Amino acid sequence: MALLGLIKRVSRISRNNSRVRVYPARYFQSRDLSSSNTFHGKDAKLPVLIVGAGPVGLVLSILLTKLGVKCALVDKATCFSKHPQAHFINNRSMEIFRKLDGLAGEIERSQPPVDLWRKFIYCTSLSGSTLGTVDHMQPQDFEKVVSPASVAHFSQYKLTSLMLKRLENLGFNVHSSKESDGLELDSVVAGKILMGHECVAIDANKESVTATVAFLKGGKRMERNIQCSLLVGADGAGSAVRRLTNVEMRGERDLQKLISVHFISRELGEYLINNRPGMLFFIFNTGGIGVLVAHDLLQGEFVLQIPYYPPQQSLSDFSTEMCRMLIFNLVGHELSDLDVADIKPWVMHAEVAEKFMCCENRVILAGDAAHRFPPAGGFGMNTGIQDAHNLAWKIAALVQGSAKSSILNTYETERRPIALFNTSLSIQNFRAAMSVPSALGLDPTIANSVHRFINKTVGSILPTGLQKAILDKVFAIGRAQLSESLLNESNPLGHQRLSRLKSIFDGGKSLQLQFPAEDLGFRYQEGAIVPDNESGAGDPEAPSGRRRDYVPCAEPGSRLPHMYVKVLSDSTREVIVSTLDLISIDKVEFLLIISPLQESYELARATFEVAKEFKANVKVCVIWPSSSDDGVVRDSKSALAPCENVVDVMEVKEESGGEASWWSICKLTERGSILVRPDEHIAWRMKSSVPLEPTLHMRDVFNIILGKQ
């Protein structure tokens, strides 16, 4: 009966959700990657080629290498960028980084102190009046109750450097475009990061993918073909892989165009540390408007974001000298050590690729290549890192033969809905940011409407210079709303606007930094999971644009809840870890969590037996309740002999005196059980009983998870 119920439930899930693409059984049989010599044998190709050596590509290469999958990276850039770019790392990404040879710890030690970046500040200039301050850190953010990791503020180029160090420790070599002069065309590329290599063509068939990459050798443009089993496009918002495979983006384009000015001023950093430390500064005055990102106040590293309106404005209008004058205006005084390092334009989009898999499922999109969001909330890089975490174990399971190729379909099934949700949330957050200038009488939609009107009417008649003069005049009139004579408490209109602004800040309706409920609580509704009839979570709650606290959840598809546990062993040394640490990063291994009950031991034995059939690895974790009864022998290994991959742990109660047990946090009874995937998401669970026929039941569970059903 249990088996029949499982099959009915899975069938119901498939019928009721239109996002699943249904294929005939012969489809996978005829093209299954794992059943061919694609990954094995004397003539094996490179298993995985990653296009793009940004954070997503680098994280994926680290994860794959740790899981025993050979890969290589190519990037069209000749060197790694020193532009700060993304900088906010959320809890979930930091949890992943904890397992990458101490990466999270190194980030925490290297980042600026949290008191220097916890606030967003709204002002008329950096030395002028403060319009409002929002502190985005709450006491629970430091307590590590719901996560063993805290959020971080760390520039992307610094993160890239730390990732490269870990890849080098794993045997990777970085080849610059100059070093490629000595790299033979037929040389093995596994374990290499080839800079200055641009992917210019992709040819995929049922057997392999051939990527043609162009590079300079001896000053001449050369091409080489790299044959691989899978190609992952992690090459950013302007993805060549996406373009070459004709994958379209869906969503809102051109939300805003901006100029990004990267500059250094230790003088400004020191001033802000002493007067008004923060991460983001929203500056509004009659001379200009901009958002200043303080990447590192201690080092005086900043990026200024300025609205940009082409074709009336061009990049040449933003000369170094012009940017210096604008910075001085927004700061409120001149800076003696100002060094403008880089000036570049960019366009804000809110789009998701129509599909994440293409070309016989051998080409996969990840990160900004698959989705591009407004920077509001830091969803871009973090969503991409979690894409890589989801994808890595599935590729490894396929390469190593425990899964069928259909497991790769679950990457899109699981990650695309998350990307769509995060797109909605980032748009809401972006619009919340726009509520502040609107309250000050500067409605951004009016500025955009004026710009569109000029482009559609006089744009084809008047000279560009005259169009620019008209646009500048219109914007100057708009910025007049920010004059001190108007924007003060004594002026009735100014008082009204400042009161409206205070209401926005007090109500949490401005731009938000943290979204714990979404960052930790995202859940896969379908994919490499076994849904159950007892699920109470339902569809994800619509994004509100406001910060919501994370509530631990053990529904299938959810991230495993965090709790500190003490590892029970013969050693005298006390080892306390997070439940998340019980999942291995070095092999594709599932984790079965049970209580020390005889019926649960039977389930564990059945799981070991089934895993062996599937050539899968399983570890069993027995969680013992916290108890002062030292007479209890907490050892399950003898009960589960001859199975050896067993760990006994005991709950560690919070110092605050919290009495919640592991099973109550998970909303299960102690007769429940949880099977966790290698990416720390729950694949299957039983709430309060063990299946009547555990071997048959677990065989069906693994069939579903590993794509064999």
Burial status of residue 570 (CB atoms within 10 A of its CB: 0-12, 13-18, 19 or more) = exposed
What pLDDT was estimated at residue 657? 53
Structure confidence at residue 659 as a pLDDT band (50, 70, 90): low
The whole-number average pLDDT for the span 52-63 is 98
Structure-token match 């037996």, residue found: 609
Q: What angle do CA 499, 441, 346 make, to 5 degrees?
A: 120
What pLDDT was estimated at residue 443? 82
Structure confidence at residue 697 as a pLDDT band (50, 70, 90): very high
Please answer whether residues 374 and 430 qualify as being in contact, where contact means their C-beta atoms are separated by less than 8 angstroms.
yes
What pLDDT was estimated at residue 333? 95
Structure confidence at residue 183 as a pLDDT band (50, 70, 90): low
What pLDDT was estimated at residue 11? 44
What pLDDT was estimated at residue 544? 74
For residue range 169-179, list pLDDT tens digits in order.
Answer: 999 999 976 65
Q: In whole angstroms, give the CA distance from residue 509 to residue 120.
A: 13
Read off φ and ψ for residue 217, nearest 5 degrees: -135, 120
CA distances in angstroms from 651 to 601, 622, 660, listed in the order given: 19, 11, 10
What pLDDT was estimated at residue 628? 55
Low-confidence winner among 181-195, 345-359, 485-499 (lowest mean pLDDT): 181-195
Structure confidence at residue 17 as a pLDDT band (50, 70, 90): very low
Average pLDDT, the chain: 89
What pLDDT was estimated at residue 18? 30
Does 32 have pLDDT greater than 70? no
The whole-number average pLDDT for the span 140-162 is 94
For residue range 573-587, list pLDDT tens digits in order.
Answer: 789 999 999 999 999
For residue range 294-323, list pLDDT tens digits in order.
Answer: 999 999 999 999 999 998 888 999 999 999
Q: Which residues contact 205 (CB under 8 A, 6 or more apart)?
A: 360
Ramachandran quadrant class, 302 (left: phi over 0; alpha: psi -120 to 50; beta: rest)? beta
Torsion, CA 496, CA 497, CA 503, CA 506, rounded to 10: -130
Structural domains in the chain, CATH included, are 46-113+151-251+352-430 (3.50.50.60), 443-472 (no CATH), 552-626+634-706 (3.40.30.120)
Higher pLDDT: 658 or 158? It is 158
Low-confidence winner among 118-122, 136-140, 496-500, 673-677 (lowest mean pLDDT): 136-140
What pLDDT was estimated at residue 16? 36
Low-confidence winner among 29-43, 92-106, 426-440, 615-629 (lowest mean pLDDT): 29-43
The whole-number average pLDDT for the span 87-92 is 96
Structure confidence at residue 689 as a pLDDT band (50, 70, 90): confident
The whole-number average pLDDT for the span 677-696 is 93
The whole-number average pLDDT for the span 271-281 is 97
Beta bridge partners of 646: 620
What pLDDT was estimated at residue 242? 98
Among candidate residues 60, 5, 32, the one with its CA nearest the CA of residue 384: 60
What pLDDT was estimated at residue 656? 56
For residue range 124-133, list pLDDT tens digits in order.
Answer: 999 999 999 9
Higher pLDDT: 5 or 560? It is 560
